[in-house]
Structure 1
Amino acid sequence: MNKRIRTPVKRRLEINDEAGIGVSRNFNSIVIEAGGYEALTFDERDARNQIQNARRLRLGVGDAESVAFYFHRMQQENSNFYSAIDFDVDGRIRNLFWADTRSRAAYKAFGDVVSFDTTHLTNKYDMLFAPFVGVNHHEQSILFCCGLLSNENMNTFVWLFKEWLNCMSATPPKAIITDQCRAMKNAIQIVFPQARHRWCLWYVMKKIPEKLRGYSQYEAIKFALQNAVYDSFKKDEFDEEWQMMIEKFSLHDNEWLGVLYGERHRWIPAYVKDIFWAGLLTTQRSESMNAFFDGYVNSKTTLKQFVEQYDNVLRSKVEKETKADFKSRNKLYDCLTVYEFEKQFRAAYTNAKFKEVQVELKRLLYCHATLVKEDRSICTYHVKKAVLVGDKVKKVEFVVYFNSTEFEMQCVYRWFEFRGIMCAHSLSVLIERCIYEVPDKYIMPRWRKDLERGYACIPTTYSKSEAALNAKVHDNYHKTLDEIIEVASNDDSKHKAIQLGLRDIKERVRKDESGYASNMPPASSTVPPASSNVPPSSATCKVLIPLVAH
């Protein structure tokens, strides 16, 4: 508590470091000037930490100006661009956060599940790249926003997550997946207390050699652990397998395993498959996003260069999504079966998701459903599935419940809840009951090829030129809505009138797209024209995102 480096001394350490003086000589000069070690309130280790922190915050020539210019350019392009800069006590950039207007609107469509990870992308200043990544309807990674951070402590993550909330109209994700970072965990509990938080399974499992290799029965322990994690479909099954492993190999004193079991609701598949995770078991989305950026930047990239390349990265992602849209609308895969539900899935889903459905359809060959119990409308089926383990075929049994009154199904595998597509076990029960169509509730809207995405026509600096007309129209509407909301101020009755008016316009446009424009009164009699004299407030921008996106 008493260790403290005064500001003038901090400055002296930093100046000497910039001059190329080593840490030891740097510290010794301070000792000599102070009259001895006993006259200082800090030691060489504290000086070293101070210098390392200063290096992270020391930007190169043009870096700060480049960031400011980029943020200003994006704000001029569209008033919904969001940025935030966190400064230290000396006025130096410590952390950055930003999100372009298209990415903010994309969060409205696909922000239910978010993968968050940090990596040393811009190693020149040892700043951490922190992307917030989701999954679109083509199973592609989509970037919502990102930050550049000077450290990974809890206060930094709290700042970042709060800026995220401000940026996303105070709408937290329903589910977020990260690594085991304690600082992240604490910050999420503070800022997103209602979000479901879980750990990347890969990060946990890769630590097995480090934590358990010292045991003489290491290979047997690893096999038992993997079996408990991957082959348990129910919570009680996992608990039973885990306790058997602990007892058999006398692992009661292993602190790492104790912590993992205490936090099993954060990483064990049987504990997390009760809600939708878009199929994510790991932070692979964040990692793949980092790899994607690696094509444009490297360890020697300056912050200035990184900012300059940022638009190129996003442009590439937009083009990839646009191509997938075109293929899903114009190219149909051949059906593998004669069942009508396959045609339903093909007509509704994007090609990427339909291919996943076909993987489950192929597994039907190895599934056999048998009715074992019928209690009024609830029918219980056991589905035996042949699985290849090594060079041997093993029979695995899954339980599927079918409600004949509500036409609802639930498999212990929880594939639909977790991934959003029906599993082979549930489909085999439908076939056993001679049901060849599925109700709409088993066709998840999130994966549809005709999904409405308001962000597709939002103006950006990296969109294709042919989208410019839609972009301008969108921005004009945005400015008009800004003005209307400013007129309404905080009057609840006026806001209700706005909502009713917008709903009416939406319905009329949908009902008669061709005749609506000719039947509507001139724009001047409906709403005041957009004017550049009324600047939209930042609060207004935050309110308008959901209106436009939907």
Structure 2
Amino acid sequence: MSSSSFTSSYINQEEDGVLMEKNDDEAVSEEPELENRENVEEPRVGMTFNNIDDIVVYYREYGKQLGFPVRKRTSQKGDEGELKYVTISCGREGKYKSKSSNVLKPHPSIKIGCKARVRAGIILDGRWQINSIKLDHNHDMSPTKARYFRCHRTISSDMKRRIELNDTAGIRLNKSYNSLVVEAGGHENISFLEKDCRNYIENVRRLQLGEGDATAIQTYFLNMQVQNSNFFYAIDLDQDGRLRNVFWADARSRAAYKEFGDVVTFDTTYLTNKYDMPFAPFVGVNHHGQSILLGCGLISSEDTDAFIWLFKSWLTCMHEHAPRGIITDHEKCH
């Protein structure tokens, strides 16, 4: 099986197969045959791929063709930390446990215990091979609704740029989205929903500080560093040069960490009022049982990339000396 026909544009999307806001596919009992559908070969034992990303792309394309969501379920590493096995399953796999406080209004979910999946492992020549397959699903398929699944939704960099330009020009988001739909020849030919545009542009707006604010932050940090060379700060910019994440720690925090940095607490439960950017403090405890600040961060969003950048910046500030333990809100920082 050659994987060269599958691009990497579907990689790095969310691994969640949950259908947002509407479970439209569950209302569909019969699906018409689609014309000009790409013919993605049915998975079979022995198929080989150049790397794990190619397998994920392939199975997502297969799921999109048949009409079911896909998620990377589990992976297993070898003794030296190298990835050796992976399971990619139907997004309806597993059983959902609602966390809603109202038992009469549970949060919607599409998880119904579907067992369809493929398992693959790395072979001697470095390629990946499908080792086992379960093709049978316990639910109806919905090819025409496949684009609603999160794993099949993506906004290209060109589309993002156009959406941003239209928003800057004052064009309402629904009109901007409708123009893209018309240009593409219909909703079925566009790979994202209006909700995705709205989420994206809201995140962009959050990153756009007021006029002079980003400059004011940098000027303040530079002045603090002039007053004390042990003042540390780091600024993360996006591709367009906009301020995305910041971290800072004064000389007292860095000195305190050397003495009381064995265990650190970290959470992002605080939000600034003006920009709605999560405030992320690193806090320790001194020998008097008092809380001490060991560094602060403002991050654009609570996602993996932001947390990785923040923790790397903090470790750099603390001369790569990691604490023995970190106490955090696991639901916030996963």
* TM score, norm. by length of structure 1: 0.31
Name the residue aligned to 1:56: 206
Deviation digits for residues 425-470 of structure 1 (CA, Å, limit 9, x no counterpart): xxxxxxxxxxxxxxxxxxxxxxxxxxxxxxxxxxxxxxxxxxxxxx
Change in 2 beyond 3 A, CA 1:47/1:64? same
How far, CA to CA, are the matches of 2:279 and 2:168 in structure 1?
24
How far, CA to CA, are the matches of 2:265 and 2:155 in structure 1?
38
Q: Aligned pair 1:101/2:261, yes or no?
A: no
Q: Please say if residues 80 and 100 of structure 1, whose CA atoms lie closer than 8 Å, have aligned partners that are also in contact.
A: yes
Runs (5+) with no aligned partner, structure 1: 186-550
Q: Tell me which of 76, 79, 89 is aligned to 2:229.
A: 79
2:226 aligns to what SS in structure 1? Answer: helix
Name the residue aligned to 1:434: none
Name the residue aligned to 1:89: 239
Deviation digits for residues 294-319 of structure 1 (CA, Å, limit 9, x no counterpart): xxxxxxxxxxxxxxxxxxxxxxxxxx
Alignment of 1:290-301 (within 5 A): none
Letter in 1 for 2:315: L
Name the residue aligned to 1:47: 197
Change in 2 beyond 3 A, CA 1:125/1:22? farther
1:60 aligns to what SS in structure 2? Answer: coil
Runs (5+) with no aligned partner, structure 2: 1-9, 11-151
Q: Aligned pair 1:172/2:331, yes or no?
A: no
Letter in 2 for 1:172: A
Q: Please say if residues 120 and 126 of structure 1, whose CA atoms lie closer than 8 Å, have aligned partners that are also in contact.
A: no
Letter in 1 for 2:301: N
Alignment of 1:374-385 (within 5 A): none
Deviation at 1:23, TM superposition (A): 3.0
Query: More helix per residue: 1 or 2?
Result: 1
Deviation at 1:19, TM superposition (A): 4.9
Change in 2 beyond 3 A, CA 1:21/1:101? same
Q: Please say if residues 55 and 125 of structure 1, whose CA atoms lie closer than 8 Å, have aligned partners that are also in contact.
A: no
Q: Tell me which of 125, 130, 134 is aligned to 2:284.
A: 134
Name the residue aligned to 1:36: 186
1:150 aligns to what SS in structure 2? Answer: coil
Deviation at 1:71, TM superposition (A): 1.5
Letter in 2 for 1:102: R
Deviation at 1:120, TM superposition (A): 4.2
Letter in 2 for 1:122: T
Identity of aligned residues (%): 60
Deviation at 1:64, TM superposition (A): 0.9
Deviation digits for residues 15-64 of structure 1 (CA, Å, limit 9, x no counterpart): 33345544323311322344433443322222122112212211111111
Q: Aligned pair 1:159/2:309, yes or no?
A: yes
Deviation digits for residues 490-543 of structure 1 (CA, Å, limit 9, x no counterpart): xxxxxxxxxxxxxxxxxxxxxxxxxxxxxxxxxxxxxxxxxxxxxxxxxxxxxx
Letter in 2 for 1:118: T
Alignment of 1:82-481 (within 5 A): 82-181=232-331, 184-185=333-334
Name the residue aligned to 2:162: 12
Letter in 2 for 1:121: L
2:167 aligns to what SS in structure 1? Answer: helix
How far, CA to CA, are the matches of 2:329 and 2:261 in structure 1?
19
How far, CA to CA, are the matches of 1:90 and 1:116 in structure 2?
30
1:13 aligns to what SS in structure 2? Answer: helix
Name the residue aligned to 2:177: 27
How far, CA to CA, are the matches of 2:235 and 2:188 in structure 1?
39
How far, CA to CA, are the matches of 1:177 and 1:38 in structure 2?
46
How far, CA to CA, are the matches of 2:325 and 2:153 in structure 1?
40
How far, CA to CA, are the matches of 2:247 and 2:306 in structure 1?
11
How far, CA to CA, are the matches of 1:50 and 1:24 in structure 2?
13
RMSD of aligned alpha carbons: 2.2
Change in 2 beyond 3 A, CA 1:124/1:19? farther
Letter in 1 for 2:179: S
Deviation at 1:3, TM superposition (A): 4.1
Q: Aligned pair 1:70/2:220, yes or no?
A: yes
How far, CA to CA, are the matches of 1:4 and 1:90 in structure 2?
20
More relative contact order in 1 or in 2 (CA 8 Å, sep 6+)? 1
Change in 2 beyond 3 A, CA 1:22/1:120? farther
Deviation at 1:108, TM superposition (A): 1.2
Aligned length: 184
2:316 aligns to what SS in structure 1? Answer: helix
Q: Please say if residues 56 and 127 of structure 1, whose CA atoms lie closer than 8 Å, have aligned partners that are also in contact.
A: yes
1:59 aligns to what SS in structure 2? Answer: coil
Deviation digits for residues 120-160 of structure 1 (CA, Å, limit 9, x no counterpart): 42243221100001122333221110111111122221221
How far, CA to CA, are the matches of 2:229 and 2:268 in structure 1?
28
How far, CA to CA, are the matches of 2:178 and 2:309 in structure 1?
36
Name the residue aligned to 1:508: none
